[in-house]
Structure 1
Amino acid sequence: MNAPVLEVADLRVRVGRREIVRGVSLAVRREQILGIVGESGSGKSMTVLAATGLLDAPGAVVSGSSVLAGQGDSIELVGATPRTLRSVHGGRIGFVFQDPGTSLNPLLTLERQITESLEAHRHPTRREARSRALELLEAVGLPTPENRLGSYPHQLSGGQRQRVMIAIALACAPELLVADEPTTSLDVTTQAQIVDLVRNLQRDFGTAVVWISHDLGVIGQVADDVTVLHDGEAVEQAPVLDVFDRPQQDYTRRLLEARPLIGSTGPAPVADDAAVLLDVWGLDVRFPVTTPVGRSTVHAVQDLSFQIRRGSTLGLVGESGSGKSTVAAALTGLVRPDAGRVTLDGADVLGVRRRDEKALRRRIGLVLQDPFASLNPRMPVGTSVGEPLVVHGLADGKAGRRARVDELLDLVGLPTAFATRYPHELSGGQRQRVSIARALALEPDLLILDESTASLDVSVQAKVLELLADLQRRLALTFLFIGHDLAVIQQVSHDVLVMRAGSAVEYRPAAELFAAPRDEYTRALLDAVPPARPRV
């Protein structure tokens, strides 16, 4: 076996009095992918940032050893000088982070961003740098790479931006590639493409890869060996098949059990004679856009029709850009459709008069993907949850509003003491529970959940999905559940509508669709879901 490219021994990170990373040891070799997995707060990113000399937290003290060997001189990264780290970062170690939208410079072309690290570490001629940039865009599978060199990040999709980030990370042929949650915000199909891309590039370039994720399903697709972190400690380290087939720790077993898998049991059926609550017919939404060659129109939703029965869940699924969130925006009045008819329990939603709009809007609740962005950071939880009661005049004074807020927090499984906390004091799952409590404050007839679990750890996601199922049973709630992961959609949905490029591809009862999908696009979405066991 070849020597490790990166060897970490007894790594510890202390911030103030708290030890964040506690004695972690790991190694990754050439042509090997090491998966590091754990929930948010387990110390995954902190471990790798400290091991690669990229940690810059105020007051952080790093001890232990982290040696970068590879084919160059061996370098101790813990305690290395800034000059040494500058020579390593981008040259011998490449980084791909979770959100390419914040990692890429919006003011620079793709060519300039790729050649930047080349000029800093390899000093090529301008022609050589441009040729290398084109070669890398071809290697990562970006369509029409010659035309993309002069493009800017905002002109690419999320998956394309992540491919560009990989190209930048590989520009100097690094010995080690660090991928920190690189597919978390991507569709399952795009996620599968990025996983395949990294594996192919790793094989072609011989790079060692450290892949960080909270999802064991993704780790099973990409990793050779796995390190499971919990509360800053490595609780299990083994080859990937051993982790899936013979997990040694209860924590690892809980992570495996929390994964949504195709074939899971769906919700309890609703009555056959359940009345139709939401009726959408011929919904059509267009957006005018300005392009370099003039004005154009994006046809976001095209002649879409569906129904949701009272007490049921319709799963709306598709890739980014398929029009899912535009449907939610049209139903909640955030976007005005160009055509179509929408009725809620017989009442017209689109043609409502202004004086009746406020009363109608309270009948449709909305829970968004990022609870940290949708909650006011300056408001305590109790104020945020109680705000809709004030706006609609439903609270009977401060005492009545406080009692209703306590009732809502209890409904979503949070202590009433959380009313005085602020969003930054809560975990991601707790913040999403607050968002659900806020949406339920007005007792809506329909609750729209727009990718409401997509950014959560799989274990937290499982708890939120259990909460939603429990609320639906107890309160007979009706859901429009928007997502891109068909395994999650199967778990929560009575009916499923698959969208692509603004149009309906398949619209059938969930049991029928998952038993025998008719459309090739639906089968592609199903194939992209990580399997229960890694494919060898």
Structure 2
Amino acid sequence: MNTPVLTVEDLRVRIAGREIVHGVSLTVRREQVLGIVGESGSGKSMTVLAATGLLDAPGAVTTGSSVLAGEADSVQLVGAAPRTLRGVHGGRIGFVFQDPGTSLNPLLTLERQITESLEAHRHPTRREARARALHLLEAVGLPNAEDRLQSYPHQLSGGQRQRVMIAIALACDPELLVADEPTTSLDVTTQAQIVDLVGGLQRDFGTAVVWISHDLGVIGQVADDVTVLHDGEVVEQATVLDVFDHPQQPYTRRLLDARPLIGSDGPPPVPDDAAVLLEVTDLAVRFPVSTPRGTSTVHAVEDLSFRIRRGSTLGLVGESGSGKSTVAAALTGLVRPHAGHVELDGVDVLAVKSRAERSLRRRIGLVLQDPFASLNPRMPIAASVGEPLVVHGLAKGKAGRRARIAELLDLVGLPSAFATRYPHELSGGQRQRVSIARALALEPDLMILDESTASLDVSVQAQVLELLADLQHRLGLTFLFIGHDLAVIQQVSHDVLVMRAGRSVEYRPAADLFAEPREEYTRALLAAVPPTRPRV
């Protein structure tokens, strides 16, 4: 248990003459999970990539020491030859990255992707490699593992793809597993399953784990020891219980305070006589899907009904694949519902055609999960925010547009100088503020926020939630807040609708639902939320 697997001393990384990582030292031991936590830009991933010899940034210079010491010979990873690193990566060190959708090859079957590293490091026969791939898929809990061997990544859910990534990382029984934000984009139940899975595999295989995350709630579930990084420096190192119970540094306390927790106060109440702004009745959305046996129909949403009062927030929650984003797509006209009625201020949105439909849909704004993907990287911020103004004729002339863009940026807490910047020059939280400003350009009555804070650091998420609450108070906005984090849902919602497999499971006022959930599925979602304090 006390045998060091990775020992890092005075690690420094310089890029273009600027030091990014400043003298980091840490140790990971056999059967231990080391949590590395900090905000975006704190140097978490940079430190681990440099320590494992995987950093490939142009002009990067790494100094210091990083020794991998296991059952095989010890290897100095800093400055190691490419041939040495090829023997280590995938063989002695396995990697699980944040987005399995970009990490997996869309053109290769799951079997081929798992057996690649086996063939590179172990040289098994084809039958042995296939048997090992099947064993790994079963070990990570992928249903119908044998049938899935010939599947492709796009045929799996996000949680299933992450399980495949873990299987690939464990293919050669590595001494060290690096998990870089492996649960950030997953819903709470899938996140809990991945946490349990890695914990079980660690106990079974005796692997040392480095778990990188911005979420101290997740770190509290998985880690034995914690290293807190800020601006490339170690600000605190302690056991996980000491970090939670006796944080020594203000930065650590700030990360702890920024976590959304179950039991937090909800938003101010809306008047009981508030008018209904949006009423959805018996909504159904179905998609034809081609299969080897012919065409089948996926019932993405079925018989869904709800209403949102003006000035209130409806929290829409459920696991991945529950139909949440399909509801948003149906309300904004991105998909055409198969059946149902959608009334905005008493007008059936689905029945209105052509110009009148465009005018009506302008009253519904949409903010998506990933602001970097939803903003055009070739357009400056002014053009992105101003585009709705041009399309809908909401500002007169260039001078009017410039003034309105400056007003919108000020509304979301950004200086007018940001108008000339491009998305890559902004942080994640700043890009999300730009997305909110673009949605506000439509002067909407209803704003749909589809996982709009899911990919943000907890501290940045807290700032964006505070911004949304302020906008709702000042502008009288109505929100449909789609999310999988029940702590955030409780913080922002007046009413909550829980969905599963396209249908409503529970629909009640937020205070009642969180105080006494009626349905087993709702209780399971609540039970999957990371605890306030690590369980001993």
The TM-score, its normalising length taken from structure 1, stands at: 0.99
Q: Which residue number corresponds to residue 93 of structure 2?
A: 93
Matches within 5 A, 1:70-89: 70-89=70-89
Structure 1 counterpart SS, 2:252: helix
Q: Which residue number corresponds to residue 480 of structure 1?
A: 480
Q: Deviation at 1:17?
A: 2.3
Structure 1 counterpart SS, 2:301: strand
Question: Is the counterpart of residue 26 in structure 1 residue 26 in structure 2?
Answer: yes
Within 1, Cα distance between the matches of 2:154 and 2:111? 14
Within 2, Cα distance between the matches of 1:221 and 1:394? 49
Within 1, Cα distance between the matches of 2:71 and 2:328? 53
Q: Which residue number corresponds to residue 155 of structure 2?
A: 155
Question: Is the counterpart of residue 262 in structure 1 residue 262 in structure 2?
Answer: yes
Q: Which residue number corresponds to residue 513 of structure 1?
A: 513
Within 1, Cα distance between the matches of 2:429 and 2:401? 24
Q: Which residue number corresponds to residue 301 of structure 1?
A: 301
Q: Which residue number corresponds to residue 35 of structure 1?
A: 35
Structure 2 counterpart SS, 1:238: strand
Question: Is the counterpart of residue 108 in structure 1 residue 70 in structure 2?
Answer: no
Deviations 1:100-143 (A, max 9, x none): 11111111111111111111111111221111111111111111
Matches within 5 A, 1:319-468: 319-468=319-468
Greater mean deviation of Cα atoms: 151-160 or 307-316: 151-160
Structure 2: gaps of 5 or more residues: none
Structure 2 counterpart SS, 1:311: coil
Q: Deviation at 1:355?
A: 2.4
Q: Deviation at 1:348?
A: 1.3
Q: Which residue number corresponds to residue 222 of structure 1?
A: 222
One-letter amino acid of the counterpart of residue 340, structure 2: G
One-letter amino acid of the counterpart of residue 127, structure 2: R
One-letter amino acid of the counterpart of residue 60, structure 1: A
One-letter amino acid of the counterpart of residue 439, structure 1: A
Within 2, Cα distance between the matches of 1:477 and 1:2? 56
Question: Is the counterpart of residue 190 in structure 1 residue 190 in structure 2?
Answer: yes
Within 1, Cα distance between the matches of 2:283 and 2:358? 22
Q: Deviation at 1:218?
A: 0.4
One-letter amino acid of the counterpart of residue 10, structure 2: D
Within 1, Cα distance between the matches of 2:259 and 2:275? 33
Within 2, Cα distance between the matches of 1:394 and 1:7? 60
Question: Is the counterpart of residue 501 in structure 1 residue 501 in structure 2?
Answer: yes
Deviations 1:117-170 (A, max 9, x none): 111111111221111111111111111211111111111111111111111111
Q: Which residue number corresponds to residue 129 of structure 2?
A: 129
Q: Deviation at 1:490?
A: 0.2
Structure 2 counterpart SS, 1:217: helix
Within 2, Cα distance between the matches of 1:147 and 1:214? 36
Q: Which residue number corresponds to residue 282 of structure 1?
A: 282
Structure 2 counterpart SS, 1:302: strand
Within 2, Cα distance between the matches of 1:337 and 1:134? 40
Within 1, Cα distance between the matches of 2:275 and 2:355? 27
Deviations 1:410-454 (A, max 9, x none): 111111111111111000000000000110012101000000000
Within 1, Cα distance between the matches of 2:422 and 2:517? 45
Within 1, Cα distance between the matches of 2:269 and 2:180? 40
Structure 2 counterpart SS, 1:455: coil
Q: Which residue number corresponds to residue 202 of structure 1?
A: 202
Q: Deviation at 1:392?
A: 1.1
One-letter amino acid of the counterpart of residue 212, structure 2: I
Within 1, Cα distance between the matches of 2:239 and 2:141? 29
Within 2, Cα distance between the matches of 1:43 and 1:424? 18
Within 2, Cα distance between the matches of 1:396 and 1:111? 59
Structure 1 counterpart SS, 2:479: strand
One-letter amino acid of the counterpart of residue 112, structure 2: R
Greater mean deviation of Cα atoms: 471-480 or 144-153: 144-153
Q: Deviation at 1:396?
A: 1.7
Q: Which residue number corresponds to residue 177 of structure 1?
A: 177
Within 2, Cα distance between the matches of 1:130 and 1:402? 61
Question: Is the counterpart of residue 62 in structure 1 residue 79 in structure 2?
Answer: no
The TM-score, its normalising length taken from structure 2, stands at: 0.99
Q: Which residue number corresponds to residue 291 of structure 2?
A: 291
Greater mean deviation of Cα atoms: 253-262 or 376-385: 376-385
Within 1, Cα distance between the matches of 2:97 and 2:292? 30
One-letter amino acid of the counterpart of residue 317, structure 2: V
Within 1, Cα distance between the matches of 2:152 and 2:332? 32
Within 1, Cα distance between the matches of 2:29 and 2:292? 46
One-letter amino acid of the counterpart of residue 376, structure 1: N
One-letter amino acid of the counterpart of residue 247, structure 2: P
One-letter amino acid of the counterpart of residue 427, structure 2: S
Q: Which residue number corresponds to residue 312 of structure 1?
A: 312
Within 1, Cα distance between the matches of 2:132 and 2:405? 59
Deviations 1:87-109 (A, max 9, x none): 10111000001111111111111
Deviations 1:202-227 (A, max 9, x none): 00000000000010000000000000
One-letter amino acid of the counterpart of residue 530, structure 2: P
Structure 1: gaps of 5 or more residues: none
Q: Deviation at 1:390?
A: 1.1
Q: Deviation at 1:359?
A: 0.7
One-letter amino acid of the counterpart of residue 199, structure 1: G
One-letter amino acid of the counterpart of residue 83, structure 2: R
Within 2, Cα distance between the matches of 1:145 and 1:343? 45
One-letter amino acid of the counterpart of residue 383, structure 1: A
Structure 1 counterpart SS, 2:117: helix
Q: Deviation at 1:174?
A: 0.5
Within 1, Cα distance between the matches of 2:401 and 2:507? 41
Deviations 1:340-387 (A, max 9, x none): 011101111011121211211111000000111111111111121111
Within 2, Cα distance between the matches of 1:37 and 1:335? 39
One-letter amino acid of the counterpart of residue 199, structure 2: R
Q: Which residue number corresponds to residue 232 of structure 1?
A: 232
Within 1, Cα distance between the matches of 2:381 and 2:130? 52
Q: Please identify runs of 4+ aligned residues in structure 1 that moved more than 6 A.
A: none
